Amino acid sequence: MPDKKAWSADDIPDLSGKMIVVTGGNSGIGYEAALAFARKRAEVILACRDLGKARTAAAQITASAPGATVEVMELDLSNLASVRGFSDAFHLRHQALHVLCNNAGVMAIPYRQTADGFEMQFGTNHLGHFALTGLLLDRLLATEGARVVNVSSGAHRMGKIRFDDLQWHNGYRKWMAYGQSKLANLLFTLELQRKVDAAGKKLLSVACHPGYAATNLQAAGPRMSGSSMLESIFSVANSLFAQSAAMGALPTEYAAVAPDVHGGDYFGPDGVAELWGNPVRVGRSAAAQDAVAASRLWEVSEQLTNVHYNL
């Protein structure tokens, strides 16, 4: 459990020799977490869809943390062929993987489909990361002290896994779809740890959420909808009420490196309604603790992605 003293990025231990992959590491929470890890001498891979933005972020990190080792690799979580391509490239270059931060995502966007025909939020936020983790599982299991960190959201509480219509072919509601994807992140965390424990393997599967942090995530949906007014409202709200992306990244960093983290833990801010503050263990909805739903979602996810975990 985090100490009474507020935990900060300064408390991250020396990470020399550690390999950390951060999906969506070019901006927001992912960028701040990658920067914090690099400053503590981890080898960091920014796994991003936009290579130009990723290279800019990598340059900013190395400028801020001289001597840091930052690698850029292409990963589009909305395309399973890209996920497999990233896995193949990673296997050729690296033998160890200490932390996989499943951070990238989209939020409350208009209805879109991934390259594989999945609803974009479910396909990117959950299925893409489910496939990525499964494809990198051998490297994780071969690395002592490895962790998988899934970035969820307080919005998981509004979520329901619609097994009869996971892809929202009927009655799409963007916030409910986002909630489903974030609930799926927590059920995946739960079931991965259960399966790892049952197999007698050593791997921590943990989750976190950033609270209300000022990132580009809030503006993406309004921008895609063509609503400049709503985009402006979110921008003003971020400036007035949100905590910084650096603060929002602390639960991710804690989950990734703190010594007292246990499998299945869920971290978020300690402030009012978990919107702001320093990282602590937080609660989750009853739906996020449903072992039957977690097992069913796992089976469906394997079928949809054709990624089967070798446990």
pLDDT digits (tens, 9 = 90+) for 234-262: 454 445 456 899 999 999 999 999 999 99
Single out the catalytic residue among 31, 172, 178, 212: 178
Q: Calculate mean pLDDT across residues 100-106.
A: 98
Please tell me the predicted confidence (pLDDT) of residue 5.
79
CA atoms of 192 and 195, how far apart (whole Å): 5
- Cα 177 to the center of its chain, rounded Å: 17
Please tell me the predicted confidence (pLDDT) of residue 272.
85
Q: Calculate mean pLDDT across residues 49-71.
A: 96
Please tell me the predicted confidence (pLDDT) of residue 299.
98
Please tell me the predicted confidence (pLDDT) of residue 219.
47
What pLDDT digit, counting tens, does each position of 111-127 carry? 999 999 999 999 999 99
Q: Calculate mean pLDDT across residues 34-61.
A: 98
Full set of structural domains in the chain with CATH = 12-304 (3.40.50.720)
pLDDT at 3 over 50: no
3-class DSSP string for the chain: CCCCCCCCHHHCCCCCCCEEEEECCCCHHHHHHHHHHHHCCCEEEEEECCHHHHHHHHHHHHHHCCCCEEEEEECCCCCHHHHHHHHHHHHHHCCCCCEEEECCCCCCCCCCECCCCCEHHHHHHHHHHHHHHHHCHHHHHCCCCCEEEEECCHHHHHCCCCCCCCCCCCCCCHHHHHHHHHHHHHHHHHHHHHHHHHCCCCCEEEEECCCCECCCHHHHHHHHHCCHHHHHHHHHHHHHHCECHHHHCHHHHHHHHCCCCCCCCEEEECCHHHCCCCEEECCCCHHHHCHHHHHHHHHHHHHHHCCCCCC
Please tell me the predicted confidence (pLDDT) of residue 86.
98
Is 178 a residue of the active site?
yes
Please tell me the predicted confidence (pLDDT) of residue 109.
96
Q: Calculate mean pLDDT across residues 270-288.
A: 95
Please tell me the predicted confidence (pLDDT) of residue 242.
67
- CB neighbour class for 227 (10 Å; exposed up to 12, middle 13-18, buried from 19): middle
